[in-house]
Structure 1
Amino acid sequence: MTQHTEKNSARNTSEPKQNSVDASGAGDAGARGESAAERTLRRRLDPDQRREAIFEAARAEFATTPYSQVKIGDIAAASGSSPALIYRYFAGKDGLYAEVMRVGYERLAVQQESALAALPPNTSVRDHVRTIVQTYLDFVAENRESWGMVIRQSGAEPASVGEIRDLAREARIAQLRGVLASSENRRHEMAICGFYGFVDAVLGDWVASGCPDDDRAPLIETALGALQGALGDWAA
């Protein structure tokens, strides 16, 4: 009888400890609203998948929240990750935002180059430029929230992002120079450099209005007319 009581006593002293472990593990996860499947996913992602999950969560967060208000903890929670992992893969919020911007500009450039390459050999210069602008509008419409935020918060970003914007701008200007086969005429150079500033300003209004299809054709024609007027001639 005494032996049975001692066994029960020993078992009773160990059970609260087990319950405590459960409470600090699955119990806390349940309190956070995290399912077993989500915990399994968080554990099983390989480094590339983890990096991609963080990237996509950040892209969604930056699309709807001004840069200064984005919190690393929110991105970590959305990606099933941790702030430490974000700093490991992207060196913090600045690096993560810079990567989102870099990839966005890279994807836009690839789409524009593919669209230009698909044009027949006898396509006019004006229609080459039209294709560049149309592809830009398509890209912005497909990524309306994220690209709208990019356009709106230019200047309120870390220095590294400013460098990425500058490089992207130089690449876009070089692309336009190639299409126009422009000379060293100073007027032509000013027209080319000012073109994307004009387009981005108009696109900002278009995005704010919800990218209405009815405004697409007038926007393109306005951009083409502005460039032609600035150049003086398409055969720059």
Structure 2
Amino acid sequence: MTQLSSEDHLKQLANSLHFMSDWLPQARQAPETTVPACPGWTLSDLYAHLSDVHRNVIQTLATAGTDRRPEPRGQNSEQHHSDPFDGFLESSRDLFKALTATDPGLACWGFGPPPRLAAFWFRRQNMEHLVHAEDLAQSLRSQEPAMAKEAHLSNETALDGVSELLDMLVPQRIRSGTVEQPAAALRFEAAGQSWIVGAGEVVASLTTDPVTMLLGLWRRRPLLSLAITTGDREVLGAFLQSKIVP
């Protein structure tokens, strides 16, 4: 499949950042509200996490076009902002500026496969914020029943996100030993696109629309309940319950 351009990722990221900024006042009023898909997290933790991600990505982008590698995550000297919500507003602006000022074609460290280019971070930050914008929507819905998520997640964007996960992140987690390779091959299908995870004969298939597939794989939707499945649901379910996402 054709990957979205870095410009498209930047536009979608802007939508997600605006969404999270627009609803930040409500989150600030209920900072201890839990985040359903992230056990142990509150909205305060969610915004603090994103600020930490922003700082690390900005530091990484500063090395684009050089042979330098960024400091290991968590070892930069910058202190966390005392208020996670104010920190998010500041760091999100800085992140967007850094991405806008970076040529996506420059060599840049990333945890994806070669070629390692700055474009990796345009895509990764788009997907990171799409998923966490969904977290915000789910968390605040009890306080704001009329809330509608407005991140405008298109099928094309969702398919690119599924590709990032199944073509890059999951294989990487299998290689690192974080996730066991499924006992047999599994097929995932959405909008005419398909991905096979595992080796050997396909023993189970899962089919749904791109948005449900993306959010379901990231455990923001009950994927097995919403999708059409065929074959060995036990093998499929075991894989989906493994650590395919952080």
Alignment TM-score, normalising by the size of structure 1: 0.28
Alignment TM-score, normalising by the size of structure 2: 0.27
Higher fraction of strand: 2
